[in-house]
Amino acid sequence: MKLLFVCLGNICRSPAAENIMNHLVAQAGMSDRIECDSAGTASYHTGNPPDRRMRAAAANRDLPMVGKARQFTKADFTAFDLILAMDRENYHNILALDPQGQYRDKVKLMCDFATQHPDKEVPDPYYGGAEGFDYVIDLLVDACSGLLQELETTTAKKV
Ligand code: 4NP
């Protein structure tokens, strides 16, 4: 199962989601079954590591935060099983690259998997203060846990 997390710049929210999911997947002993990557709908930050403020917020919780930004491309529709958009704008920008709607069912909103937060979107922390980064991590730990639980159930059903 290959998962792709997508935001705008691929330096704050989606690399955080990728690293948090990898961490939870490793803890669950499922690293051989679930693979994660991330991308941005925009190309401004291509090649850059995750934002320094996101790395600092993650380090406070002993979470790894590695990666190199890249832009989402049409090829990702076939390369991944599930594409998780951080907000509605990301969601629409992704689907705009699939005008025939062939891959529509693979694209989901990340917050649909959160069980402890009412948010419908992962807020963009880029122009705000440090607390925004902490909140994004809280929300993503929740949503990634929900996603993992769902994947555990669907994988179990297939066996
Ligand atoms: P991200 O955050 O989409 O969570 O990576 C942003 C990063 C950069 C910009 C906006 C949001 N930017 O405008 O450069």
**Ligand 1 within 6 A of 41 CB?**
no
The listed CATH number (3.40.50.300, 3.30.420.40, 3.40.50.1860, 3.40.50.2300) that belongs to domain 2-157: 3.40.50.2300
Residue 154 burial by CB count (10 A; 0-12/13-18/19+): exposed, middle or buried?
A: exposed
Query: Once rounded to an integer, what is the mean pLDDT over residues 114-140?
Result: 97
Q: How close is the Cα of 97 to the center of ligand 1, in Å?
A: 20
pLDDT class of 158 with cuts at 50, 70, 90: low
> Within a 10 A sphere around the Cβ of 39, how many other Cβ atoms?
23
The pLDDT, as a whole number, for residue 130 is 87
Query: Once rounded to an integer, what is the mean pLDDT over residues 74-81?
Result: 98
The pLDDT, as a whole number, for residue 154 is 82
Work out the angle between the directed axes of helices 52-59 and 130-158 (0-180°, nearest 10). 70
Res 157 pLDDT > 70: no
- Could you tell me the pTM of the whole model? 0.97
For the question of residue 13 being annotated catalytic, the response is yes
Q: Which of 7-21, 39-53, 104-118, 145-159 has the lowest mean pLDDT?
A: 145-159
Cα R_g (the chain), whole angstroms: 15
Site to substitute for ligand 1 among 124, 133, 139, 140, most atoms within 8 A of C-beta: 124
For the question of residue 134 being annotated catalytic, the response is no
Q: How close is the Cα of 126 to the center of ligand 1, in Å?
A: 5
Query: Once rounded to an integer, what is the mean pLDDT over residues 71-90?
Result: 98
